[in-house]
Amino acid sequence: MLDLLIRGGTVVTPHQTGQFDVAVSGEKIVAVALPGTMTYEALRVLDARGKIVVPGGIEPHTHLAHFVAMHPEDNLYTMGPEEDTRGMAFGGTTTHIDFCFIRPGMDFWQTLEQRTARWQGKSYVDYSFHIALGGALPLDIFDHIPEAIRRGFPSFKVFTVDVLPPHPKRPPYRLDFGRIQLAMEKVAASGGIMVVHAEDHDLVHTMYERLEQEGRTQGWNMPLARSKTSELLAFRRTVQLAERMKAGVYFVHTSAREGVEVVAEARGRGLPVYAETLHHYATFDAEDYKKPRGYIYHTYPSLKYKEDRDALWHGLLTGPVATVGTDEFPTTLDVKLKGNTISNVTGGNLGAEARVGIVYSEGVAKRGMSLQRFVEVTSANAARILGLYPRKGAIAAGSDADIVLIDPAVRKTLTRDDFHVSDYSPWEGWTVEGWPVTTILRGKVIADQGRLHGSLSDGQLIPRQIDARVLSQPAC
Ligand SMILES: [Zn+2]
């Protein structure tokens, strides 16, 4: 007896897209077969006629329960997993990867333990953490990297820039390039990957100084400080160092044409370099800052220009951009609009709930992205690059039964009622074609037709291990 049979849908498998039935027993997919060929009885049958059946979305980039460093005096934190993952359940995301920051003075293992404990029993969907290394860390901290990889945390985030101007209450973000080299050596030797926020520190901070002096500190000047040239330089420098150290690199939130081009060039030379962009960067640009409430669209580094949006879509459709993340930073509208200068506009995005639906609507429905490619950029590639594949990111026998049904017939203008996390969404008023309607996590229907069936104890910490091919060449 099966636990669940999903019948009649258009199923996107790793090999082809077609009409298949998907059989689930316990938490696993046990078979994907031609319609009608599975004669087993099932406790529950889901009628997926007219729906597209895809692997649960994988959100590679969230900052939940995270200090809001733009307003250091206020001691604010972003919403936690108990709030934000509700939106993921509704929106078709079944796994997210957050961050565990290790900074000077912190104990590596104790910090990791605390971070994982914070999520336990507090997440509707599965999760893991990148380990973020920032500040003037003592060199022996890097000796923990091989053991962290063995324990299932194989991705290490570094910032090449201090994201914000210095402030006594702001924790350090930047890791100097010497320490980045050390991290790369250790990561490459043990089967991990570098996750890099790449901006040129000098260019960004001197431009802050110049804009201050010229009295041009309004937030809409952000793309002057977080410039296309800064992305170009930092991506190149990182690729060159990684090539020497033989380390794989996953660039988070690629925002400019220059970033896409550097990644495409590196991949053309056979290097294991991958780019993430954000659905935010692909759908909004710097003009949006000038709208009323325009800073709800801000995410660090910054929105860029139309040519960059076009390059990001081109990259998503044709290959060099492998994934869509969110840089999720969920706050209330009040906190999001707290700052209005280049130094204090609240960063990050509130969009993990919308991610799968927006990429479907903007990519598949409006730009002709294939369903196969849609699955790659919303799920399978993040699973491969970050070490969850094929347990996650595939509709295949043996994989976790993380499955999402998308209704391509949905036509609607999104309103507050479509969102379940905060008191605003940057996508209110956006018109979509197609939207996720059912989300299944390891065999359990956690959201269906606008109703939540999951619970906070459903999400589990998932150990990760990266396939060697991902680290030796551009594997996806
Ligand atoms: Zn981020």
Dist. CA 34 → ligand 1 center (Å): 41
Q: With the CA atoms of 411, 413, 416 and 417 taken in that order, what torsion angle do they form, in degrees rounded to the nearest 10?
A: -30
Domains along the chain with CATH numbers: 2-55+395-412+433-452 (2.30.40.10), 57-388 (3.20.20.140)
Dist. CA 51 → ligand 1 center (Å): 33
pTM, two decimal places: 0.98
Dist. CA 133 → ligand 1 center (Å): 13
The per-residue pLDDT for 310 is 98
Dist. CA 300 → ligand 1 center (Å): 8
The per-residue pLDDT for 439 is 98
Task: Say how far apart CA 155 and CA 160 lie, in whole Å.
Answer: 16
Dist. CA 62 → ligand 1 center (Å): 7
Dist. CA 96 → ligand 1 center (Å): 13
Dist. CA 348 → ligand 1 center (Å): 7
Dist. CA 128 → ligand 1 center (Å): 15
Taking only the tens of pLDDT, the chain with its 476 residues reads 999 999 999 999 999 999 999 999 999 999 999 998 887 899 999 999 999 999 999 999 999 999 999 999 999 999 999 999 999 999 999 999 999 999 999 999 999 999 999 999 999 999 999 999 999 999 999 999 999 999 999 999 999 999 998 899 999 999 999 999 999 999 999 999 999 999 999 999 999 999 999 999 999 999 999 999 999 999 999 999 999 999 999 999 999 999 999 999 999 999 999 999 999 999 999 999 999 999 999 999 999 999 999 999 999 999 999 999 999 999 999 999 999 999 999 988 999 999 999 999 999 999 999 999 999 999 999 999 999 999 999 999 999 999 999 999 999 999 999 999 999 999 999 999 999 999 999 999 999 999 999 999 999 999 999 999 999 999 99
Dist. CA 63 → ligand 1 center (Å): 6
Task: Say how far apart CA 102 and CA 266 lie, in whole Å.
Answer: 29
Task: Say how far apart CA 325 and CA 307 lie, in whole Å.
Answer: 20
Instruction: Give the other-Cβ count within 10 Å of 14's Cβ.
Output: 17
- Is residue 342 within 8 Å of 207, Cβ to Cβ? no
Dist. CA 36 → ligand 1 center (Å): 45
Task: Say how far apart CA 133 and CA 173 lie, in whole Å.
Answer: 8
Radius of gyration of the CA atoms of the chain, in A: 21
Strands 57-59 and 93-102: parallel
Q: With the CA atoms of 76, 78, 83 and 89 taken in that order, what torsion angle do they form, in degrees rounded to the nearest 10?
A: 180
Dist. CA 440 → ligand 1 center (Å): 27
Dist. CA 327 → ligand 1 center (Å): 4
- Is residue 98 within 8 Å of 56, Cβ to Cβ? no
Dist. CA 157 → ligand 1 center (Å): 9
- Is residue 372 within 8 Å of 324, Cβ to Cβ? no
Dist. CA 277 → ligand 1 center (Å): 11
- Is residue 49 within 8 Å of 8, Cβ to Cβ? yes
Dist. CA 24 → ligand 1 center (Å): 35
The per-residue pLDDT for 140 is 97
Q: Which of 266, 255, 262 is nearest to 227 (CA)?
A: 255
Dist. CA 406 → ligand 1 center (Å): 27
Q: In the 8-state DSSP scheme, what is residue 171? A: P
Dist. CA 362 → ligand 1 center (Å): 22
Dist. CA 19 → ligand 1 center (Å): 38
